[in-house]
C-alpha cells in the first residue's frame, strides 16, 4: 500500500479524484474549492485590528478552509517523508531538463530546483525575484482575479462560470509569458 501511494499516479486517476472534490464539497455543505482565501481567514483570526477587510465572521465562512489548508501542509509533510519517492530527482522530461541546464539550473533533487528555491537562492537576485516578487504577484493576482488557479480552474469551470474561464485563460497566458519571455531574462 505504501509503495502504491509513494508512486506518481497517472493523470486519469489523479484528475478525476481532484475533480470529485468539487461535488463532494458542494454536497457536504455548499462549499467551494479554493485555497487563496485562507490568508484572509488566517489574518482575520489572528490579527486584531480595525482593517475593514478583516472584519467578518471568519469562523462561519473560513474555519473549514483553514482546516483544509492545514491538511494540505500535513499531506505535503507526509508525502515528502513517509511516502517519499525512492528516486530523489524531479520527474521532468529530458527536454525540460536540457532547457533548465542551459540556464544554469543543475540540481534536480527534491520537489523544486534548489538552485532557485532555497535560502541561498533567496539571497541571489534571480531567487529574490522569483520567490518574493513572484510570490507577491501571484498573491495580488489571486486577489484581483477573485480566486486562485485551483479555485477558478476546478470549481469555477465546473460551475460553468464565465469569469473563471477568463481568469484561467489569463493564468495560462501569464504563465507562458513569464516562462518564455521573462524567465530567460532573469536566469
pLDDT per residue over 47-58, tens digit each?
877 788 788 887
3-state SS record for 154-185:
HHHHHCCCHHHHHHHHHHHHHHHHHHHHHHHH
Query: Would the pLDDT of 89 be above 70?
Result: no
Q: Where are the domains of the chain?
A: 1-84, 116-187
Cβ(161)–Cβ(33) below 8 Å? no
Give the number of other Cβ atoms within 10 Å of residue 92's Cβ: 12
pLDDT per residue over 2-48, tens digit each?
777 777 778 898 888 888 887 888 788 777 777 777 777 888 888 87
Task: From 11, 4, 2, 30, select the one nearest 155 (Cα to Cα).
Answer: 30
Integer Cα distance of 172 and 75 in angstroms: 27
What pTM, to 2 d.p., does this model score? 0.66
pLDDT per residue over 132-177, tens digit each?
888 888 888 887 887 787 778 887 887 788 988 998 898 889 889 9
Integer Cα distance of 73 and 62 in angstroms: 17
Integer Cα distance of 8 and 135 in angstroms: 27
Amino acid at each position: 500500500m505504501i509503495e502504491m501511494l509513494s508512486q506518481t499516479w497517472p493523470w486519469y486517476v489523479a484528475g478525476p479524484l481532484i475533480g470529485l472534490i468539487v461535488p463532494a464539497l458542494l454536497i457536504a455543505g455548499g462549499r467551494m474549492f479554493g485555497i487563496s482565501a485562507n490568508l484572509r481567514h488566517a489574518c482575520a483570526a489572528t490579527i486584531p485590528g480595525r482593517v475593514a477587510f478583516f472584519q467578518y465572521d471568519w469562523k462561519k465562512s473560513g474555519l473549514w478552509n483553514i482546516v483544509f489548508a492545514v491538511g494540505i501542509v500535513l499531506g505535503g509533510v507526509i508525502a515528502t517523508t513517509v511516502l517519499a519517492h525512492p528516486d530523489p530527482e524531479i520527474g521532468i522530461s529530458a527536454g525540460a531538463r536540457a532547457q533548465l541546464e542551459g540556464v544554469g539550473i543543475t540540481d534536480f533533487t527534491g520537489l523544486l530546483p534548489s538552485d532557485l528555491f532555497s535560502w541561498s537562492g533567496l539571497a541571489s537576485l534571480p531567487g529574490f525575484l522569483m520567490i518574493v516578487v513572484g510570490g507577491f504577484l501571484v498573491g495580488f493576482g489571486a486577489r484581483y482575479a477573485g480566486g486562485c488557479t485551483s479555485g477558478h480552474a476546478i470549481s469555477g469551470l465546473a460551475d460553468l462560470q464565465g469569469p473563471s474561464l477568463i481568469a484561467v485563460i489569463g493564468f495560462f497566458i501569464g504563465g507562458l509569458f513569464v516562462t518564455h519571455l521573462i524567465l530567460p531574462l532573469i536566469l
